[in-house]
Amino acid sequence: MATDYRPHHIAFTVRDLEASKSFYGYFGFRLVAEWSAQDTSLTISHLRRDNGFVLEFFHYAANAEQQQPTFTVGNNLPEIGVKHLGFSVENLAATREEILAAGIGEVTEITRGRTLVDYFFVRDPDGMYVEVVNDARDLDELRPLLLSDATD
């Protein structure tokens, strides 16, 4: 492959722009660009981490009064579509305790997933689950880790 594809951004539509900026600010995202319609019907915000990764928020004023969506853990995984944003950390238990102490959102217990990644979720202001993982697997594309429920 000649082209080098690097992650750039993920986009969310949010109800409360300031609450979302604050929540994702906890994870190191800072406002770097914002566009607003003259009638304030739409604001598009770009928040970026030091590593260059961008969150793009679409805030439609009409959504401010909408009820918070109801998601299952992971954001309705059986349904087709983008599901969640994940952050990798070295010390999962300590990070979970820090997030609990910060009180930024509802936090699940630490779980080992079917693909052998340890994780927990924290809910953002719109009820979407953000995953925090510790991936200690030694993966190799020449020898993929192939798992099934038969190996449980």
In a domain, 113, yes or no: yes
In a domain, 72, yes or no: no
Q: CB under 8 Å to 21, separation ≥6 — which residues?
A: 29, 31, 45, 47, 57
Is residue 42 within a helix (H) or strand (E), and if so which, with residue range? strand 42-48
Look up the CATH number of the domain holding residue 112: 3.10.180.10
Res 6: pLDDT: 84
* Count of domains forming the chain: 2
Domain extent, residue 111, equals 83-152
Cα–Cα distance measured from residue 43 to residue 35, given in angstroms and rounded to the nearest whole number: 6
The predicted model scores a pTM of 0.86
Task: Render pLDDT for 101-146 as a digit per residue (tens, 0 to 9).
Answer: 999 999 999 999 988 999 999 999 999 999 999 998 888 889 988 8
In a domain, 78, yes or no: no
Task: Render pLDDT for 46-105 as a digit per residue (tens, 0 to 9).
Answer: 999 999 999 999 999 999 888 887 877 777 666 767 778 999 999 999 999 999 999 999
Which DSSP letter does residue 107 get? B
Per-residue confidence band for 42, with pLDDT thresholds at 50, 70 and 90: very high
Got the DSSP string for 53-76?
-EEEEEEEGGGGGSPPP---TTT-
Are the CB atoms for 16 and 32 separated by under 8 Å?
no
Per-residue confidence band for 151, with pLDDT thresholds at 50, 70 and 90: low
Cα–Cα distance measured from residue 68 to residue 129, given in angstroms and rounded to the nearest whole number: 13
